[in-house]
Structure 1
């Protein structure tokens, strides 16, 4: 299985180093010296990591055969792809690879179906599940402990406890329940 583990950013300095936007929780394993990575676009690779270091909070990599700034800048926006055994699991039991989460059913704690995870968006602040609803619409669910209560890989589902308003139906149900109670109150007041 192929997983995107980083995206190459700007060249750094004049000796072929590049900044990298890390997209893996295991950069020391996936992006360490000697790692051979496929690329997208494919013509840019494969690339072998010669060295890596952290500078001002950013990971810098140098690849074999990339010796100057021009060669490094030519790699900008290239995705780095690692081959991963599909049975391999992250060391931390609270972490998941994207391929483990794709196509999970998303349900509320009471079992109400919300949809299916079709995409995972990795943002700087948090990850988001892009969930396709049964009607074809999409909803974004932040992948944070306060909302995603449980990931059950055996049952192929993610149980969520969303705050009011996160999922359109929840807000509509609350509003319709309030409207019907107001209608009932208005009716009883009219009959008085």
Structure 2
């Protein structure tokens, strides 16, 4: 198994202060459970960057609404800078059903409204800074971005091959992407 087949938990941003901490963009709905000291993450980084294949979390805290992480073996700002852009990944066997889904699991699912009407087909997943978004191909041939949050996507049923999209009025038209 390669690290890019696991679930992305976070993407490392810029260093914070001098002791090796970094900011992160979260890609998990449950950072308090995933980002605990001692957790080991596989890494996905640019080839030749020197980033270790795994990082062990030493510290995790929230400062002014931003998650700051420190890793074993990264003692200073220079080391932290070398991690910029690295994705922290959980192996597939460490993932559970409530944490999230893999893009390959979501692609091809039929997107339906709560009343059962067809919204479109899921064609991909965009990882975002604030939240991930489903890429939904609408019946008119345009793509819409749907925030993958419980309020808008209350149910994903892989066995039935459907995802329920309870979009507020205008969301699917507002987020339509031109082909």
TM-score, structure 2 normalization: 0.72
TM-score, structure 1 normalization: 0.68
Q: Can you give the 5+ residue segments of structure 2 that lack an aligned partner in the other structure? A: 174-179
Instruction: Summarize the Cα distance change of 1:60–1:106 in structure 2 as closer, same or farther, 3 Å threshold.
Output: same
Highest relative contact order (Cα 8 Å, sep 6+), 1 or 2?
A: 2
Tell me by how many angstroms 1:80 deviates: 0.9
SS in 2 for 1:54: strand
Residues 26-60 of structure 1 show CA distances to partners (whole Å, capped at 9, x for unaligned) of: 22332211111111216412111112222222221
Tell me by how many angstroms 1:22 deviates: 1.9
- Matched with 1:140 is 145
SS in 1 for 2:78: helix
- Residue 99 of structure 1 pairs with residue 102 of structure 2: yes
SS in 1 for 2:102: helix
- Matched with 1:159 is 164
How many equivalent pairs are there? 162
**The structure with more radius of gyration:** 1
- Give the Cα separation in 2 of the matches to 1:130 and 1:22: 19
- Give the Cα separation in 2 of the matches to 1:116 and 1:123: 20
Does the 8 A contact of 1:30 with 1:82 survive in 2? Answer: no
More helix by share: 1
Tell me by how many angstroms 1:147 deviates: 4.7
- Matched with 2:12 is 8
Q: CA RMSD in A?
A: 2.9
The equivalent position to 1:17 in structure 2, one of 9, 17, 21, is 21
Q: Can you give the 5+ residue segments of structure 1 that lack an aligned partner in the other structure? A: 91-95, 169-192
The equivalent position to 1:39 in structure 2, one of 28, 40, 43, is 43
